[in-house]
Structure 1
């Protein structure tokens, strides 16, 4: 299992940040590799199940995400099923009138030989992807907050 994690502080209340990311279509707005969000279904736990495309190195993977944990203003966990299976976790914490968001991705690269070749690339790619998604999220929410003032 491979794991990458990134954190960022956003000058927006935790409720605003959680609410924004609670909408699956917003993930496609801030995460460059996520497109074609569709078939969104609300689950009994408050979470969502959805289909999307996740692109890595120019290869689009049809991906199913199921939100197994939905703790408002605290945590979201998604099981990911595609060519690469894994888990995505978002944690939210109030800090100094803002929010710290920690985004962790754990995934399994299939095939023993393939994982040895692909793993270093996949780790760097996903570290950059998490960092970009969090920076986009910060920019989107902080700019929205300024325009409301």
Structure 2
């Protein structure tokens, strides 16, 4: 007891908690971390299309970045560096009347089955092409995370246009590959 007749209260310090890294499933990619710092949001787009062509033919068509204008809203493609399993190129996207360029790196993740693409400068994006062999062709699956350029309102408007462009792009992709395969078969005959 103190001189005034009151009990001294004990001041307990809070127990120290060791800071640990979050579990692997909660860690963010570099792209998500930079977006969090910049206050941006990622948009996702995905799609699947069945194409009447062998997986090897589809893979070769997708690997050639010069084919992008045949199915995506891309006006031109400049190849910056080309290797056996990696291509660095700069496509110019036409997004809602706005020209946006990005330096991209495309890599073969699994030969004949998986291609990855990452935007390294300009528009931020990460994408994956997956190919699955079917009895009468190939199933192509595409998944992309991207950040549309501009303000929040512009991004909202562009997200709708990009989503529509990707939907149309899958139908163009199917037609372009099937046409290329039939033209190749006609030349061989």
TM-score range, shorter chain: 0.7 to 0.9
RMSD of aligned residue pairs (Cα, Å): 2.5
- Of 165, 169, 179, the residue aligned with 1:125 is 165
Q: Deviations over 1:53-110 (max 9, x none)?
A: 1111222212211014432111101012565311222111110042111122221134
Name the CA distance, whole Å, in 1 between partners of 2:68 and 2:148: 23
Which of 33, 49, 58 is 1:8 aligned to? 49
SS in 2 for 1:73: coil
The structure carrying a bigger strand percent of its residues is 1
User: Counterpart of 1:8 in 2: which secondary structure?
Assistant: strand
Task: Give structure 1 stretches of 5+ with no counterpart.
Answer: none
Q: Distance in 2 between matches of 1:82 and 1:55?
A: 17
1:137 maps to what in 2?
177
Q: Calculate the TM-score normalised by the size of structure 2.
A: 0.64
Which string of whole-angstrom CA distances, capped at 9 and with x for unpartnered residues, describes residues 16-61 of structure 1?
Answer: 2112222221223x224223222342247x1211112111122221
8 Å Cα contact 1:4/1:123 also seen in 2: yes
**1:35 partnered with 2:75:** yes
| TM-score, length of structure 1 as denominator length | 0.78
Residue 95 of structure 1 corresponds to 134
- Which runs of 5 or more structure 2 residues have no equivalent in the other structure? 1-41
